[in-house]
Amino acid sequence: MKIETIIGDYKIFLDKVFGRLKEAGFKLEEFKELDHIAYRTENIAEYEKMKKELLEFSKKYSEKMFGGRLILICLLENPIVYNNFTINGFELLAPKENSAHKKGLDHAEFVVKTTLPEFQEKHKDIVFDLHAYAREENPELVLHFENCTAKFHTRSLLEVRNIKNESLK
């Protein structure tokens, strides 16, 4: 089985994300890495089913409550390769209570080569969502497009969650 049978066609999703970023004036050279892509589920039963399936593709993982819902972060056994990016992580999001998000691939998270203030200043014509910009753990700039989102950090989520190749499940 391939991971696409669980998460859908990530290539179409990433084509959309990268297309929107290019239209907005971003350059690939600004990103140190594309550390993970994320999938939203509509209910807990779907989350638990996908979690079980995704763990078969994972070397290591971390699951914890964040923002009122469970989030699973996986270090993939076989990274997803897209263009010049090797994507080592995958994030599975349980639904928040009273949330109306559609299920499916939701966002891609990039590690930028500069500080977030420098990145924001470079793109001062862009209106970022700043709801998580001031948070203590892994602040981010968020850019919403139609049917996809890009998030920008200075540290990968795998690093923040301390999921390393040498640790055990």
Average pLDDT, stretch 18-36?
96
The closest alpha carbon to 115, from 151, 153, 158, belongs to 153
- The pLDDT-based confidence of 168 (bands split at 50, 70, 90) is very low
- The pLDDT-based confidence of 169 (bands split at 50, 70, 90) is very low
- The pLDDT-based confidence of 23 (bands split at 50, 70, 90) is very high
Average pLDDT, stretch 116-143?
93
pTM to 2 decimal places: 0.90
**Rounded Cα gap, residues 71 and 87, in angstroms:** 18
Q: What is the DSSP letter of 57?
A: T
pLDDT in tens, 79-119: 999 999 999 999 999 998 877 678 999 999 999 999 999 99
**CATH number of the 4-160 domain:** 3.10.180.10
Sequence spans of domains, the chain: 4-160
pLDDT surpasses 50 at 45: yes
- The pLDDT-based confidence of 68 (bands split at 50, 70, 90) is confident
Q: Which residue has the higher pLDDT, 77 or 66?
A: 77
Mean pLDDT of the chain: 91
First to last CA, the chain: 21
Report how far Cα 4 is from the mean position of its chain's Cα atoms: 16
CB 13 within 8 A of CB 69: no
β-pairing verdict for 104-112 and 85-93: unpaired
pLDDT surpasses 70 at 165: no
State residue 164's pLDDT score: 64
State residue 167's pLDDT score: 42
